[in-house]
Chains A and B, each alone.
Chain A
Amino acid sequence: MEQYEPRIIAFLCKWCSSAGSDLAGVSRMKYPPNIIPITVMCSGSVSPLYVLSAFRNGADGVLISGCHPGDCHYIKGNFYARRKILLLTELLNYIGMDEKRFKMSWVSAAEGAKFTELAKDFVEEIRFLGPQNKLIRGN
């Protein structure tokens, strides 16, 4: 039987987390290819609709990653993101979506290793949970 391969969308802010994942590449660190990165300008620009849309289109997990508090390229975008994402997390959890499928992280441009660890752990967590079939479109 073919092994189940989770599909994960990662919204990475351009200045910290995307750069951090670039660094993971430059440092030739290895992580599983299940995570498809989507670069956004700032974690603050990620609308909850993006997350829901990712789940709807078949994502098994969604990651949002931005700069550490205080390091935001846009000064405070990640603080707004933190609020919105917490609200979304609470809501998804409340309706019975597995909260582990949705994650937020701070990854700086220097944290290639952190990104690698995060990616590995997240893929394994999702692999353990299995396919997400609650918010799949058409259902």
Chain B
Amino acid sequence: MKRIGFFICHCGINIAGIVDIKKVVDEMKGYPGVVYSRDYVYMCSDPGQSLITDAIKEEKLDKVVISCCSPTLHESTFRNAVKSAGLNQFHCEIANIREQCSWVHTNRERATDKAIKLSKSAVERVRGNDSLEPIGFPVTKKALVVGGGITGIQASLDLANSGYKVILVEKDPSIGGHMIQLSETFPTLDCSQCILTPKMVEVSKHPNIDLLTYSEIEEVSGYIGNFKVKVKKKPTYVDPDKCNMCDECTKVCPVLVPNEFDLSLTGRRAIYIPSPQAIPATYTLDINSCPGFVPIACGKCADVCEVNAIDFDMKPEILEFEVGSIIAATGYELYDKKEMTSFGYGKYPDVIDSLQFERLCSASGPTGGKILRPSDHKEPKEIVFIQCAGSRDPELHCAYCSKICCMYTAKHAMLYKHNVHDGQAYIFYIDIRSGGKGYEEFVQRTIEEDNTLYLRGKVSKVYEERGKLKVWGVDTLIGKTIEINADMVVLAMATRPSAGAAELAKKLKVSLDKDGFFAEAHPKLKPVESITSGLFFAGSALSPKDIPECVAQASGAAAKSITILSQDKLYHSPTVAKVNTRLCTGCNMCVDVCPYEALSLEDNKAKVNEILCEGCGTCYATCLRAAIEIKNHTPLQVHNIINASLGG
């Protein structure tokens, strides 16, 4: 027989003002199982809590119900008190007779009646509760970071510097991401490569970081603290340990393909180094463009390589790791140019996108930092920048604002002016969004010092006429159409989630938002967390972001990871699903509905992974066989609560 103690709090007059405390105490005294019933003015006070702990000892109570305020306020207070008296925390339940009763009702008699029903319900709930201990499980003190852009680099360094092992996976042959392609960065105009390369080198040298470039995530399984990851390392056909960077191979390679790093403004060989600053500093043989995968066909590079670093027999490798947390920082890419034909992109060589313009500005770029037209290498004297190329256009393109374009376009105009002193820059814009430290001042400098002409309006068409690019647009401020004869047009293309994000999301079993970016667990309070515990997102994989934001999120995600990795054991609420295998027929319906992948079929029976289960109970309500239920939220408890709530 259970010995249940019942306590009711006056909460000053908050409860006692409406609820007839004495009547509740008396009524509960006679309720089956309740052996002790009393009230106190403030149960949550120290003397109030002592009343409970003393009664547990003196009256040999094994379960306790407290009718007071909402459990969100003091459930943990009272559960701790009960624990201190030697009972399991689940032997304490709260009836909320303040927020859900005394504060919302005015009729004393009926509020008292409701308080009694709520109290009886809590007795029924506690009666059915089992002693449960939090579920502990070990943590692999290692993190996986996916994506080697600035976000991934920063997150890896923060984790590594905190003493945790990191595996950094990058799909390209080198880390650095888009930031290494940039010229200067707004609003300070410091050189992007100069500030990034030290971090890249640090990554490659760091004893805690295992860098896997030219690699992709193959499979992710497991759960927080215990993920299992399979990574596929694609063959580079060049042994980085042997390669001495003599560059002889590229000289003999007969193949010329567009260079991704320069966004096709230049070409590269089939065997190549992505950029002079590439980390790891080694060559990669792009097997898709190499004609000599059958070495007889070509094999010239291998012939000239003195150190025999080229190995055509290299095979893809599958590497397996266990990690405790994962940070996905897969970054962005520019909107597909095929979507932007009305601006002549792809048709006219002098209509370029913003990243291409970055390369033109870059000292390491194809023009050595001189701004020249791709078509004839002449200096453009009139240049048009078109903002929101693909952004903020829900009908045809992306509905969202790509956020960084306003600032980098201002920077582009400024850099152009610094380069071509007699040139004129025009910027078509919808709004200028320059929120950020020093951002507005930067834009003003572009306008005032560099005489950039900002035109508020959209461009309808760009076409070529007599060697000039005719830009047709409208200035909505003066209400007139505008035609500019430009030498060059730069499109501030919308940023999109990187191509692999969708596939990675599938492997990570998380959802994407409507635009294809990763979905954070809460837009405000959990900006770098996913719905899967132990999995974090950072940077422009979540939404378009500039560098400082990416870095901040990277450090945020790293710190969140550390909250897991720094634990010896993680604990999880034990109110999880439990399967009655004798009833389960293995129909898979619970597996279908579980939002956490906590259920699976094993030997044709549902099996709960208690660490993944959050105890939502959707499986229970779906199971036709009543073969699954949530511990301490059993159907029997609910059945009895329903009865008690109706006065039975």
Contact = CB atoms under 8 A, between A and B. Distances in A.
A37 B614 CA distance: 22
A30 B635 CA distance: 31
A7 B646 contact: yes
B630 A21 contact: no
Interface stretch (B93-101, B146-154, B342-350): B93-101
Contacts of B531: 75
Given A30-B106, A47-B621, A54 B99 contact: no
B105 A32 contact: yes
Interface in A53-72: 53-54, 57-59
Given A47-B621, A57-B648, A84-B621, A36 B616 contact: no
A34 to B, nearest CB: 8
B617 A42 contact: yes
Nearest to B101: A33
A37 B101 CA distance: 10
Nearest to B622: A80
A50 B113 contact: no
Given A22-B96, A38-B121, A80 B645 contact: no
A41 interface: yes
B612 to A, nearest CB: 12
Nearest to A9: B645
Interface in B608-643: 614-618, 620-622, 630, 633, 635, 638-639, 641-643
A47 B620 contact: yes
A38 B645 contact: yes
Interface string A26-40: 101111110011101
Given A33-B113, A57-B643, A80 B618 contact: yes
B100 A37 contact: yes
A116 B103 CA distance: 12
B107 interface: yes
B104 interface: yes
Contacts of A116: 104
B595 A74 contact: yes
A84 B104 CA distance: 31
A32 B106 CA distance: 8
B110 A33 contact: yes
B630 A33 contact: no
Interface string B114-152: 100110010000000000000000000000000000000
Interface string A63-104: 000000000011111001100100000000000000000000
Nearest to A36: B645
Contacts of A16: none
A62 to B, nearest CB: 10
A45 B104 contact: no
B287 interface: no
Given A49-B635, A50-B635, A76-B618, 4 more contacts: A28-B104, A46-B621, A47-B621, A57-B642
28 contacts: A9-B642, A21-B100, A22-B100, A25-B99, A26-B103, A30-B104, A30-B105, A33-B101, A36-B646, A37-B118, A38-B638, A38-B641, A38-B645, A40-B638, A41-B616, A41-B633, A44-B593, A44-B616, A44-B618, A44-B621, A45-B618, A47-B621, A50-B638, A54-B642, A57-B648, A58-B648, A77-B617, A84-B621
